[in-house]
Structure 1
Amino acid sequence: MQYDQLGATGAFVSRIALGTMTFGGAGTPPWNVIGGLDEKAADEIVGIALDGGVNLVDTADMYAGGECEEILGRVLGPRRRDVVLATKLFVRMGKGPNQVGLSRLWVTQALEDSLRRLRTDHIDLYQIHSFDPLTPVEETLGALDDAVRQGKIRYIGASNLAAWQMAKYLGASDLGGLSRFVSQQVYYSLAGRDIEREILPLAVDRKLATLVYSPLAGGFLTGKFDRDGSSDEQSRRAQANNPPVDPDRAYDIVDALRAVAERHGVGVPRVAIAWVLAQPGVTSAIVGARRPGQLTETLAAADLELTAEDLRELDEAGALPPSYPGYVQSAPSNRLPLQG
C-alpha cells in the first residue's frame, strides 16, 4: 500500500480507503441493495482492508440510519488506533426540525451521536456531507472549531461542495482564524469527470486532499455491463443509475478499460481505480465491497502503474467536451514575452 499526505497536514492516509456504506441496513431499502452486510461480514471486510495496509476508513451517520457507524465501532474495537476514522454529517437523522443540516445545534448533537455509535472519543476527519444554504458558514465552522479545540475532532473536511462553496468556507476560516477544511470527498471516475473543471483545480491550488468516492461509477466500470444489455443483475448499478452515467459514452470507456486491462493481465476495476489514482491532486480512492474478493481486487489497484500510452487512451475515451471559460484560458496566451 502507498500513502499520501492528507492535504497540507502532517498526517498520511492510504491511497486506497475503505468505504463502509455496505455495512448494515439489511431489509431496509436502499441499504439492502447497497450492501446490507451484518457484523460478521463487515468484520471480515475490515480485516482484509487493514491487513492490506488501508488506514483510512470512511463512514457517515446517515448510512443505514446510523447502523453502519454502530457496526463499524464494534468491529474496529482495539484496531481503532490503527485507522484514520472519517465520518460525515448533514443528512436528516430524525423527525425533529433541527435533526438535519449544519447549524451549531445539529453539528454539536450529530458529533456526540457519531462518537457514541463509533465507540470512540474522537473523530479523525469529520466532514460535512453537503452544503447547507440556510446556515451561515461561520456558524458551522465555529461549531466545528470548538469541537477541534475540545479534542473531539482532529481534522475537518467537506463532501459534495461546488468550487465556489468550498472557496467560501476556506475564506471564512482564514478571516475568522477558524479550523480549515483539509480535504474534500467527491465523486470522480472515468465516466464522471466534472470535478476537473473547477473542483479539482481549486483543491490543488488550496492544498486540499481529494478523496474520491465511486471510482467505478457505481459499478458501471467493473466490466460487467455491455452494449448488448448483459449485466450483473444483482449489482447496485443494475437497480439504480447512481451516480448518473451516459451509457453511450461510458461503453466507449469500458472498451478502453478492457484493452488496457488485457495488456496488463488484470481486471477492469483495477485499471479504472488506477486511472483515478494517477490523476494529479487525487489523494485516495474510497472503495467499498460486499464480498471479500471484490476488496482484494480493488486494493491491488494501488500497485498498478499505468503507462503514458494507457493514460492517453483512457483519457481520450472519457475526455470532457470543452467548456467556457476553459477553452478561452487554455488558448495561446497573450502574455508571452515579446520577441525582438
Structure 2
Amino acid sequence: MKYRTVGNSDLQVSVLSLGTATFGGGSEFYKAWGETDVHQAKRLVDIAIDAGVTLFDTADVYSRGLSEEILGKTIQGRRNKMIIASKAGFRMSDQKDDIGATKKHLVHACEASLKRLGIETIDLWQLHGFDMLTPLEETLSAVDELVQAGKIRHVGCFNYSGWQLMKALALAGEHHWPKYIAHQVHYSLLARDFEWELMPLAIDQNVGSIVWSPLSAGLLSGKINRYSPVVEGSRVATLGARTSMDDAQFYDLIDLLQSLADEYERPVSHIALNWLLQRPTVASLVIGARNETQLMQNLSASDFNLTNEQITLLDKASHKSAPYPYWHQRSVYRERNPSPV
C-alpha cells in the first residue's frame, strides 16, 4: 500500500480507503449498496488493515447512523491503526432543523457521530454538502469551535462547486479558522468534470482530493461490456450511474481497459483505479465492498503504475469536450491556460 499527505496538512492516508456506505442497509436505498452487519464489517476491516489501509470513510446519514455504529464496533482495540473520516449536513430525522450546516446542527451532529463511533476525535470531518441557506461564517466558526474542543482533527468538504470551496478557503484564511484540507469528489474515467475547475483549484490551494465512486458505481468494474449488459438487481441497475458518454464511446473505453488489463494480467478495475492514482491532487480512492472477494480484488490496484503512453490512451478514450469558459481558455488562450493534467 502507498500513502499520501492530504492537502496542506500533516494527515497521511492510504491511497485506497474503505468506504462504509455498505454497512447497515438501513433503508431500501442503502440496501442497494449493501447490508454488511457487524460480523462481516469486522472481517472487511481486518482485511483492509492487513493490506495497509488506514483511512475508513463513513457519514452520519449512511443508514441514519447505523454505518457509524457498525464501524465503531470494529474500531475497538485498534484505534491507532485507523484514520476515521465522517460527514455531516444531510437530513437525519423528520425534525425541521435536523439538517444543514448551522452551528446547532453541526455541533449536535458531531457529538452524535462521536458517540456512535465510540471515539473522542474524528480525524477528518467533512461537510457533506454546501448549505446556501446558512451563512458560511456560521458554519466555519462552528467547525473552528469543534476543532478547538478536540472533537475534530481536520476538516474537509464534499461535492462543493469551485466558487463555494474558494469562498470557504478565503473566509477561513481571513478569520484564522481551520481550512478544508480535503475535498471529496466524484471522479473517474466516466466522470471527468472534476478536471475543469475543481482540480486546478485544488492544485492552486493545495487541497487534497478524496475520490468517491472511482469505478462509477460498478460501470468500470469489468463486469459490464459489449457482451455483458447491466445485471438486473445490481447496484447499477437499481441506483443508476452518472455518465455523459454514449454507448459507442463507453464500449470503446471498456475495450481499451480490457486490453490493458490483459496486458498486466489484472482485473479491469485495477486499470481504472490506477489511472486515477496518477492524477494531480488525488490523495485517496474510496472503494466500497459488499463482500470479501470484492474488497480483496481491488486492494492491490496501487502496486503498479500505468505508463505515460497508456494513460494518454485512456485520456483520449474518455475525452469529453470542455464546457464554457474552459473551451475558450484552452483554445484561444491555451499558452496561459494549460490543462492541469
Query: Which bracket does the TM-score occupy, shorter chain normalised?
Result: over 0.9
The letter for the 2-side match of 1:90 is G
CA contact (8 A) 1:122 1:153 kept: yes
User: Does 2:99 match 1:100?
Assistant: yes
2:180 corresponds to which residue? 181
Local SS of the residue matching 1:184? strand
Distance 1:335 1:14 in 2: 36
Partner secondary structure for residue 116 of structure 1: helix
Matched, 1:215 2:214: yes
Q: Distance in 1 between matches of 2:318 and 2:335?
A: 31
Question: Who is 2:241 aligned against?
Answer: 242
Residue 10 of structure 1: aligned partner: 10
2:86 maps to which residue?
A: 87
Q: Secondary structure at the match of 1:223?
A: coil
Q: How many Å separate the matches in 2 of 1:267 and 1:234?
A: 22
Contact 1:90 1:129 in 2 (8 A): yes
Paired AA for residue 319 in structure 1? H
Partner SS for 2:275:
helix
TM superposition shift of 1:82:
1.2
Aligned to 2:22: 22
Contact 1:219–1:235 (Cα < 8 Å) also in 2? no
Q: Percent identity?
A: 39
- Which residue of structure 2 aligns with residue 313 of structure 1? 313
Distance 1:80 1:139 in 2: 31
Equivalent residue, structure 1, for 2:251: 251
Q: Distance in 1 between matches of 2:298 and 2:334?
A: 45
Aligned partner of residue 300 in structure 2, secondary structure: helix
Q: How does 1:255-294 map to 2 (within 5 A)?
A: 255-294=255-294
Cα distance in 2 for partners of 1:325, 1:33 equals: 38
What's the C-alpha RMSD, in Å, of the aligned pairs? 1.6
How much has 1:229 moved relative to structure 2? 5.5
Q: What corresponds to 2:192 in structure 1?
A: 193
**Which moved further from structure 2: 104-113 or 274-283?**
274-283
Q: 1:42 aligned to 2:34?
A: no
Q: Deviations over 1:197-256 (max 9, x none)?
A: 001110111000100010100000112112346333342012221335535132222111
Residue type matched to 1:166 in 2?
Answer: L
Q: Give me the whole-angstrom Cα distance separating, in 1, the residues matched to 2:22 and 2:220.
A: 18
Partner SS, residue 125 of structure 1: strand
Name the counterpart of 2:163: 164
Measure how far apart 1:93 and its partner are.
0.3
The farther-off stretch of 249-258 and 79-88 is: 249-258
State the partner residue of 1:323. Answer: 323
1:302 match: secondary structure: coil
The C-alpha deviation readout for 1:175-208, integer Å capped at 9, x for no partner, is: 1111110000001000011000001110111000
Q: Which residue type is aligned with residue 284 of structure 1?
A: S
Contact kept in structure 1, 2:19 and 2:288, CA below 8 Å: yes
Distance 2:305 2:334 in 1: 38
For 1:319 and 1:333, locate their aligned partners in 2 and report how far apart those are by CA, in whole Å. Answer: 20
Match of 2:151 in 1: 152
Contact 1:183 1:208 in 2 (8 A): yes
1:55 aligned onto 2:57: no
Measure, in 1, the Cα distance between the counterparts of 2:246 and 2:100: 34
Output the CA distance in 1 between the equivalents of 2:272 and 2:181.
26
Counterpart CA distance in 2 for 1:105 and 1:242 is 34
Offset of residue 308 of structure 1 = 1.6
Q: Aligned AA for 1:77? A: Q
Q: Deviations over 1:247-295 (max 9, x none)?
A: 5132222111111111111110111100111111111111010111111
Structure 2 counterpart of 1:283, one-letter code: A
Indicate if the aligned counterparts of 1:191 and 1:253 stay in contact, CA closer than 8 A: no
- 1:134 is matched with 133
Separation (CA, whole Å) in 2 of partners of 1:142 and 1:177 = 10
Q: Normalised by the size of structure 1, how large is the TM-score?
A: 0.95
TM-score by length of 2: 0.94
CA separation in 2, counterparts of 1:290 and 1:324? 39
Distance change in 2, residues 1:334/1:105 (3 Å): closer
SS of corresponding position for 1:93:
coil
Structure-1 separation of matches of 2:244 and 2:28:
22
Equivalent-residue separation in structure 2 for 1:123 and 1:209 (angstroms):
18
Q: CA deviation at 1:304?
A: 2.2
Structure 1 stretches of 4+ with a deviation exceeding 4 A read 332-336
Structure 1 residues 334 and 304: CA distance shift in structure 2, 3 A: closer
Q: Counterparts of 1:218 and 1:132 in 2: how far apart (Å)?
A: 26
Q: How far off its partner does 1:334 sit?
A: 9.3
Letter in 2 for 1:254: I
User: Secondary structure of 1:246's partner?
Assistant: coil
